[in-house]
Protein backbone atom coordinates (compact mmCIF):
# COMPACT_ATOMS: atom_id res chain seq x y z
CA UNK A 1 0.00 0.00 0.00
CA UNK A 2 1.49 3.22 -1.10
CA UNK A 3 1.73 5.99 1.41
CA UNK A 4 0.45 9.27 -0.05
CA UNK A 5 3.07 11.99 -0.15
CA UNK A 6 2.22 14.83 2.17
CA UNK A 7 2.13 18.28 0.65
CA UNK A 8 4.20 20.90 2.42
CA UNK A 9 2.28 23.52 4.28
CA UNK A 10 4.18 26.29 2.55
CA UNK A 11 4.99 25.83 -1.09
CA UNK A 12 7.32 28.07 -3.01
CA UNK A 13 6.15 26.83 -6.38
CA UNK A 14 3.17 29.16 -6.48
CA UNK A 15 5.10 32.27 -5.47
CA UNK A 16 5.56 34.75 -8.31
CA UNK A 17 9.12 35.17 -9.46
CA UNK A 18 10.48 38.71 -9.31
CA UNK A 19 10.71 40.53 -12.56
CA UNK A 20 14.24 40.54 -13.96
CA UNK A 21 13.93 44.25 -14.64
CA UNK A 22 13.78 44.79 -10.88
CA UNK A 23 17.45 43.89 -10.53
CA UNK A 24 18.76 46.01 -13.39
CA UNK A 25 18.70 49.70 -14.09
CA UNK A 26 16.91 50.60 -17.28
CA UNK A 27 19.59 52.28 -19.46
CA UNK A 28 17.02 54.27 -21.40
CA UNK A 29 15.63 55.80 -18.21
CA UNK A 30 19.11 56.65 -16.96
CA UNK A 31 19.94 58.28 -20.29
CA UNK A 32 16.67 60.21 -20.27
CA UNK A 33 17.32 61.43 -16.73
CA UNK A 34 20.86 62.55 -17.54
CA UNK A 35 19.71 64.42 -20.63
CA UNK A 36 17.07 66.26 -18.61
CA UNK A 37 19.62 67.52 -16.10
CA UNK A 38 20.30 71.26 -16.28
CA UNK A 39 23.52 72.46 -17.87
CA UNK A 40 25.68 73.22 -14.82
CA UNK A 41 24.70 69.97 -13.09
CA UNK A 42 25.75 68.03 -16.18
CA UNK A 43 29.06 69.88 -16.33
CA UNK A 44 29.81 69.12 -12.68
CA UNK A 45 28.92 65.46 -13.20
CA UNK A 46 31.16 65.33 -16.26
CA UNK A 47 34.05 66.96 -14.38
CA UNK A 48 33.76 64.49 -11.50
CA UNK A 49 33.82 61.51 -13.85
CA UNK A 50 36.71 63.01 -15.85
CA UNK A 51 38.86 63.47 -12.73
CA UNK A 52 38.10 59.91 -11.65
CA UNK A 53 39.23 58.61 -15.05
CA UNK A 54 42.42 60.66 -14.77
CA UNK A 55 43.14 59.05 -11.42
CA UNK A 56 43.35 55.64 -13.11
CA UNK A 57 46.71 56.48 -14.64
CA UNK A 58 49.90 56.20 -12.58
CA UNK A 59 52.02 58.98 -14.10
CA UNK A 60 50.41 61.90 -12.28
CA UNK A 61 48.54 61.82 -8.95
CA UNK A 62 45.32 63.77 -9.34
CA UNK A 63 44.43 63.48 -5.65
CA UNK A 64 47.79 64.88 -4.55
CA UNK A 65 47.42 67.72 -7.06
CA UNK A 66 43.86 68.78 -6.27
CA UNK A 67 43.13 67.72 -2.67
CA UNK A 68 42.63 70.37 -0.01
CA UNK A 69 45.78 70.01 2.12
CA UNK A 70 46.12 72.81 4.71
CA UNK A 71 49.92 73.10 4.57
CA UNK A 72 49.98 72.90 0.77
CA UNK A 73 47.63 75.85 0.19
CA UNK A 74 49.41 79.02 -0.86
CA UNK A 75 49.25 81.76 -3.45
CA UNK A 76 50.33 79.33 -6.15
CA UNK A 77 47.94 76.56 -5.10
CA UNK A 78 44.70 78.47 -4.52
CA UNK A 79 43.10 76.29 -7.19
CA UNK A 80 42.74 73.60 -4.51
CA UNK A 81 39.83 75.57 -3.05
CA UNK A 82 37.84 74.75 -6.19
CA UNK A 83 39.24 71.38 -7.25
CA UNK A 84 38.88 69.35 -4.06
CA UNK A 85 35.08 68.79 -4.39
CA UNK A 86 35.56 67.36 -7.91
CA UNK A 87 38.16 64.71 -6.99
CA UNK A 88 37.42 61.42 -5.21
CA UNK A 89 39.40 58.54 -3.75
CA UNK A 90 37.84 55.78 -5.84
CA UNK A 91 34.86 54.60 -7.83
CA UNK A 92 32.52 53.94 -4.91
CA UNK A 93 33.43 57.25 -3.26
CA UNK A 94 32.63 59.02 -6.52
CA UNK A 95 29.43 57.01 -7.08
CA UNK A 96 27.94 57.66 -3.65
CA UNK A 97 28.79 61.36 -3.72
CA UNK A 98 27.32 61.91 -7.18
CA UNK A 99 24.14 59.98 -6.33
CA UNK A 100 23.63 62.28 -3.35
CA UNK A 101 24.76 65.48 -5.08
CA UNK A 102 22.95 65.41 -8.44
CA UNK A 103 19.33 65.68 -7.16
CA UNK A 104 20.24 68.46 -4.72
CA UNK A 105 22.28 70.40 -7.26
CA UNK A 106 19.56 70.01 -9.89
CA UNK A 107 17.03 71.46 -7.46
CA UNK A 108 19.34 74.36 -6.61
CA UNK A 109 19.94 75.18 -10.27
CA UNK A 110 16.19 75.04 -10.96
CA UNK A 111 15.73 77.66 -8.25
CA UNK A 112 18.62 80.01 -8.99
CA UNK A 113 19.40 79.59 -12.66
CA UNK A 114 22.40 78.32 -14.58
CA UNK A 115 24.72 81.32 -14.56
CA UNK A 116 24.05 82.18 -10.92
CA UNK A 117 24.68 78.58 -9.86
CA UNK A 118 27.93 78.60 -11.81
CA UNK A 119 29.07 81.83 -10.12
CA UNK A 120 28.05 80.63 -6.66
CA UNK A 121 29.66 77.19 -6.76
CA UNK A 122 32.83 78.39 -8.45
CA UNK A 123 32.91 81.26 -5.97
CA UNK A 124 31.57 81.51 -2.41
CA UNK A 125 29.84 78.12 -2.12
CA UNK A 126 33.03 76.40 -3.20
CA UNK A 127 35.58 78.51 -1.35
CA UNK A 128 33.90 79.36 1.96
CA UNK A 129 33.73 75.68 3.09
CA UNK A 130 37.38 75.29 2.11
CA UNK A 131 38.40 78.36 4.12
CA UNK A 132 36.43 77.15 7.14
CA UNK A 133 38.15 73.78 6.95
CA UNK A 134 41.56 75.45 6.74
CA UNK A 135 40.70 77.44 9.87
CA UNK A 136 39.44 74.41 11.80
CA UNK A 137 42.09 71.92 10.76
CA UNK A 138 45.11 74.07 9.97
CA UNK A 139 44.89 76.94 12.45
CA UNK A 140 42.92 75.60 15.42
CA UNK A 141 43.93 71.92 15.48
CA UNK A 142 47.35 72.45 13.84
CA UNK A 143 46.77 69.38 11.69
CA UNK A 144 47.39 68.67 8.01
CA UNK A 145 44.62 66.22 7.07
CA UNK A 146 43.82 66.33 3.33
CA UNK A 147 40.17 66.26 2.27
CA UNK A 148 38.44 65.82 -1.07
CA UNK A 149 35.05 64.85 -2.43
CA UNK A 150 31.78 66.54 -3.34
CA UNK A 151 30.13 65.49 -0.08
CA UNK A 152 30.94 68.98 1.21
CA UNK A 153 28.46 70.32 -1.36
CA UNK A 154 25.95 67.64 -0.38
CA UNK A 155 25.91 68.80 3.24
CA UNK A 156 25.92 72.45 2.16
CA UNK A 157 22.78 71.93 0.08
CA UNK A 158 21.19 69.76 2.77
CA UNK A 159 21.74 72.52 5.33
CA UNK A 160 20.19 75.12 3.03
CA UNK A 161 17.20 72.86 2.37
CA UNK A 162 16.77 72.20 6.09
CA UNK A 163 16.41 75.94 6.77
CA UNK A 164 13.71 76.21 4.10
CA UNK A 165 11.97 73.20 5.64
CA UNK A 166 12.29 74.77 9.09
CA UNK A 167 10.40 77.87 7.94
CA UNK A 168 7.48 75.72 6.77
CA UNK A 169 7.67 72.97 9.41
CA UNK A 170 9.75 74.02 12.42
CA UNK A 171 9.64 70.71 14.31
CA UNK A 172 9.25 67.00 13.89
CA UNK A 173 7.77 65.08 16.80
CA UNK A 174 9.32 61.76 17.84
CA UNK A 175 7.92 60.03 20.95
CA UNK A 176 6.49 63.30 22.18
CA UNK A 177 9.76 65.17 21.77
CA UNK A 178 9.90 68.09 19.33
CA UNK A 179 13.12 68.14 17.32
CA UNK A 180 14.01 71.15 15.14
CA UNK A 181 14.10 70.24 11.47
CA UNK A 182 17.19 72.35 10.82
CA UNK A 183 19.29 70.00 12.96
CA UNK A 184 18.85 67.07 10.55
CA UNK A 185 22.06 67.70 8.50
CA UNK A 186 24.13 67.90 11.69
CA UNK A 187 22.74 64.55 12.81
CA UNK A 188 23.66 63.05 9.43
CA UNK A 189 27.19 64.47 9.80
CA UNK A 190 27.61 62.73 13.16
CA UNK A 191 26.16 59.43 11.92
CA UNK A 192 28.33 59.32 8.79
CA UNK A 193 31.44 60.18 10.80
CA UNK A 194 30.76 57.27 13.17
CA UNK A 195 29.62 54.62 10.69
CA UNK A 196 31.67 55.38 7.56
CA UNK A 197 35.47 55.21 7.87
CA UNK A 198 37.79 57.88 6.49
CA UNK A 199 35.12 60.58 6.47
CA UNK A 200 36.00 64.13 7.45
CA UNK A 201 33.80 65.43 10.24
CA UNK A 202 35.29 68.92 9.94
CA UNK A 203 34.85 68.97 6.17
CA UNK A 204 31.19 68.02 6.38
CA UNK A 205 30.66 70.45 9.25
CA UNK A 206 32.19 73.26 7.17
CA UNK A 207 29.71 72.53 4.40
CA UNK A 208 26.79 72.60 6.85
CA UNK A 209 27.89 75.91 8.36
CA UNK A 210 28.18 77.46 4.90
CA UNK A 211 24.72 76.24 3.93
CA UNK A 212 23.19 77.64 7.11
CA UNK A 213 24.87 81.02 6.72
CA UNK A 214 23.98 81.38 3.05
CA UNK A 215 20.33 80.42 3.54
CA UNK A 216 19.93 82.60 6.63
CA UNK A 217 21.60 85.76 5.35
CA UNK A 218 22.78 85.81 1.74
CA UNK A 219 20.02 84.12 -0.25
CA UNK A 220 17.16 86.10 1.30
CA UNK A 221 18.85 89.48 0.79
CA UNK A 222 20.17 88.49 -2.63
CA UNK A 223 16.73 87.79 -4.10
CA UNK A 224 13.80 89.12 -2.02
CA UNK A 225 11.24 88.03 -4.66
CA UNK A 226 12.45 84.45 -4.53
CA UNK A 227 9.13 82.73 -3.82
CA UNK A 228 7.28 84.71 -6.48
CA UNK A 229 9.93 83.90 -9.05
CA UNK A 230 9.88 80.17 -8.30
CA UNK A 231 6.20 79.91 -9.19
CA UNK A 232 6.82 81.19 -12.72
CA UNK A 233 10.18 79.53 -13.48
CA UNK A 234 10.34 77.05 -16.35
CA UNK A 235 12.97 74.73 -17.79
CA UNK A 236 13.98 74.65 -21.43
CA UNK A 237 14.24 70.87 -21.71
CA UNK A 238 16.23 70.74 -24.91
CA UNK A 239 19.37 72.29 -23.45
CA UNK A 240 18.87 72.35 -19.69
CA UNK A 241 19.03 76.16 -19.67
CA UNK A 242 16.55 77.81 -17.34
CA UNK A 243 14.36 80.44 -18.90
CA UNK A 244 12.55 83.64 -18.00
CA UNK A 245 8.87 83.17 -18.86
CA UNK A 246 7.38 85.95 -20.93
CA UNK A 247 10.61 87.72 -21.90
CA UNK A 248 10.63 89.33 -25.30
CA UNK A 249 14.09 89.91 -26.61
CA UNK A 250 15.68 90.67 -23.25
CA UNK A 251 19.13 89.50 -22.23
CA UNK A 252 21.42 87.06 -24.03
CA UNK A 253 19.56 84.42 -25.96
CA UNK A 254 20.09 81.07 -27.56
CA UNK A 255 18.93 80.06 -31.00
CA UNK A 256 15.18 79.95 -31.32
CA UNK A 257 13.51 76.64 -31.99
CA UNK A 258 11.25 76.01 -34.93
CA UNK A 259 8.15 75.94 -32.75
CA UNK A 260 9.06 78.96 -30.65
CA UNK A 261 6.94 82.03 -31.45
CA UNK A 262 8.83 85.03 -32.86
CA UNK A 263 9.90 87.74 -30.47
CA UNK A 264 10.61 85.42 -27.55
CA UNK A 265 14.10 84.41 -26.56
CA UNK A 266 15.50 81.74 -24.30
CA UNK A 267 17.54 83.47 -21.64
CA UNK A 268 20.54 81.82 -20.03
CA UNK A 269 19.44 82.55 -16.50
CA UNK A 270 16.30 83.85 -14.85
CA UNK A 271 17.90 84.73 -11.51
CA UNK A 272 20.16 87.74 -11.72
CA UNK A 273 21.01 89.49 -8.44
CA UNK A 274 23.18 92.44 -9.46
CA UNK A 275 25.29 92.36 -6.32
CA UNK A 276 26.49 88.87 -7.22
CA UNK A 277 27.98 90.06 -10.51
CA UNK A 278 29.62 93.06 -8.83
CA UNK A 279 31.19 90.91 -6.14
CA UNK A 280 32.64 88.43 -8.58
CA UNK A 281 34.00 91.06 -10.99
CA UNK A 282 31.80 90.72 -14.02
CA UNK A 283 32.93 93.44 -16.39
CA UNK A 284 29.52 94.56 -17.53
CA UNK A 285 26.00 94.66 -16.23
CA UNK A 286 23.42 92.53 -18.01
CA UNK A 287 20.97 95.21 -19.13
CA UNK A 288 17.30 94.50 -19.32
CA UNK A 289 17.32 91.74 -16.70
CA UNK A 290 15.73 93.78 -13.94
CA UNK A 291 12.16 93.12 -13.04
List active site positions: 151, 204
Q: What is the b/e burial string over 237-261, where b = at least 16 CB atoms within 10 angstroms of the residue's CB?
A: eebbbbbbeebeebbeeeeeeeeee
Which pairs count as long-range contacts for 80-83, CB under 8 Å and 24+ apart, including other chains?
80/130, 81/126, 81/127, 81/130, 81/131, 82/122, 82/126, 82/127
Q: How far is CA 230 from the centre of its chain?
A: 18
Phi, psi angle pair for 183, to nearest 5°? -85, -5
Angle, CA of 74, 281 and 245, to the nearest 5°: 130
- Whether 114 contacts 38, CB under 8 Å: yes
Residues 6+ apart with CB under 8 A from 268: 113, 114, 115, 241, 251, 252, 253, 254
Distance separating alpha carbons of residues 47 and 55, to the nearest angstrom: 12
Amino acid sequence: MAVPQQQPRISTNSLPLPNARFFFVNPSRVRSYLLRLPLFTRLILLAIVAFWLLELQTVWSVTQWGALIPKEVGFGTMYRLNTFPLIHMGFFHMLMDTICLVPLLERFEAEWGTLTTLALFMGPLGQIPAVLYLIFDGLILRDNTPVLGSSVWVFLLLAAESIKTYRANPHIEISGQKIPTWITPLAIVVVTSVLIPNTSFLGHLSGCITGYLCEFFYFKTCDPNREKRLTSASLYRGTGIYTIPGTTGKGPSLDRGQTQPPGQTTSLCFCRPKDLWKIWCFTHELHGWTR
